[in-house]
Structure formats: C-alpha cells, structure tokens
Amino acid sequence: MRCSEPPLWLTFPGAGKALGAGWLAWLIGVTALGWWMDGMGAALEVAVLLVGRLLAGRFPEPTACLRRFHLDDAELVILGPGRRVRRVPWDRLETLAQDRHVLELGARQRVVRIPLVALRRAGAWTAVLVRAVPRVAQGLWARLERGTVRLRPDLAPRTGPLVWWALVPAVAALAVAGEGGDWLVVCAAAGMERGMAWLAASAREIQVESRGVLLGMSRREVVAWPELSVQHSQHGIGLARRGHAPHLVPETLRDYWAVAPVLECRARLGTAREVEVCFRARADGGALAVIGEIDALP
C-alpha cells in the first residue's frame, strides 16, 4: 500500500507513571475505606462501582504506563510490560476502533490498544490511520460484496478499563468489609451496568447489506443506496433517506474510520452492483482524507 506520509519512525510511552500511581492510590483508598466502614458493604460497593465507572470513562487501563509503542512503515511494535514484545504488521490489520481514550487495532485475533493522548502527543495519530484505514476499508468492502456486515459502537466505557477502575477496587473493598450477600449485589450491579451499555450500543448499530443500510435495532426497512444521504458532522456521519432526519453514526462505531468512506463511496455510486474499489488515505492539514477509487464497473 502506498501512502503520502513521510517515513514513520517513532517510539513513545503509552502513558505517564502518574496514571498507574493514581490507580494505585484509588485502590488503596477504597480498600481502607472498606475496612473503616465495616458493616456498610453493599452501599459502599455500589458507590465504588459508580465512581469507578466514571473513572473508566475518563482514563485508559492503568497498565498503559507499563507499555511503549514503536511505529515504523512496516509494523507496529508493542514493548512491555517487562520484556514482552509484540509485532503487528500494518498489512495484517482487520479492525480499527476509537473511543475517547484509546485507538484499538485488531489483527488476526490480536488486539492492540494505544492511548489517544500518547498517540496525539507523539504526532502519530494521522500516520497510523493513513496506514491502517485503507487496509480495513478494503476488507470491509470485500465483506460487503459477499454479504451482510453488522457494526455497532463498543460498550462505553470499555470492559477493560471498567474492570481496573471499578470491579477490582470494589472486590478489594468487599474483601475487607463485605458480608457474603454483598457479592450478589456487586455482581447484579455490574451485570445491570453492562446490560445497559449493551442496549445503548445496540441502539446505534447499523447493518450494511449489498442493497442498502439498515439503521438502528428497531428498524427493519432497508435504505437503498440510491436513496441514502451521507452527511458529515463534528462527531461522526449522518445517514438518512433523502429528505429525512439523519441517523448519527458516531466515531466510536467499530471500524468507523474505514466504514465512513465505504458508506460514502457506495452511496455516491448509488448501486448494489459489484464494483472494484481501491481505498487510499493521506493526511491533509492534520486531518484524515480517505478516497475510494473505482477500478472497474461491470
């Protein structure tokens, strides 16, 4: 894959040591509070889960401070924790997701999460997307030619940060203060939270078919490609039947940066016929520009 970016060679930490120190202070504080408030286990655990959920929505996993990332034109290398080294070639990427704090890259059952703050501070956000988006978009286009593609946002907050910031402190506090029945309260509260997060994600799901797009979990009518309008907004793209209110597809949608050009290209073509398209990306003034070039029409 060719790209217009200059040669890439960067190494940067995933997060500062302050992130790990903050999580450790939170864990120790909650545990001490659980010991001091012995007899109020259930109320304390629910409060810890709620505060921890807020923290999970604001910060990545604390283990990010134990990793470093190296980027070059051939691959992404993850260094740590310790002496662990993982390599992910750009041409093996299959998925691409982003939320408020993390850019997630998936390749053959291997998932890499790069904190956005560190990535942007290193000036590598567009460089990574330029190399990743065309590959993922090409794969999505091929999947769409073969059948249906279902896409939804990841759960917010993600399960990984939620475990570190909410569940681990809650279990630690419960271990020193709770009674036997409090474990059921914690499990029920955590299950309800994940269930609500799943419903919220499902409400923004889109289903892409060769003949058009199905929007939302409660909608059953397919908007055909010739009738689909794609509108750009600050936090995503809007999809709608021409003349109707748009359905927002947020940037947190899994594979969003690859899905957006695929949908726009298909809507502009206005056809369900199989076509060959080659996706290319470049950085334009710090922003990402992706185009689909039509190689042939049957």
How far is residue 115's CA from residue 174's CA, in Å, rounded to a whole number?
30
More confident of the two residues 288 and 28:
28
Cβ 123 vs Cβ 11: under 8 Å: no
How far is residue 6's CA from residue 72's CA, in Å, rounded to a whole number?
10
> Would you identify the CATH topology of the domain 146-154+202-296?
PH-domain like (2.30.29)
Instruction: List, for residues 229-253, the tens digit of each pLDDT value.
Output: 888 777 778 887 777 777 777 777 7
- Which of the residue ranges 84-88, 150-154, 196-200, 271-275 would you say has the lowest mean pLDDT? 271-275
Where are the domains positioned within the chain? 146-154+202-296
pLDDT of residue 99: 79
Instruction: List, for residues 177-193, the tens digit of each pLDDT value.
Output: 655 556 777 788 888 88
Give the closest residue to 277 by CA, choosing from 289, 288, 263.
Answer: 263
Instruction: List, for residues 36-60, the tens digit of each pLDDT value.
Output: 766 556 677 778 888 998 998 888 8
Banded pLDDT at 26 (limits 50, 70, 90)? very high
> How remote is the C-alpha of 264 from its chain's centroid?
21
Pairing relationship of beta strands 75-79 and 85-89 according to DSSP bridges:
antiparallel
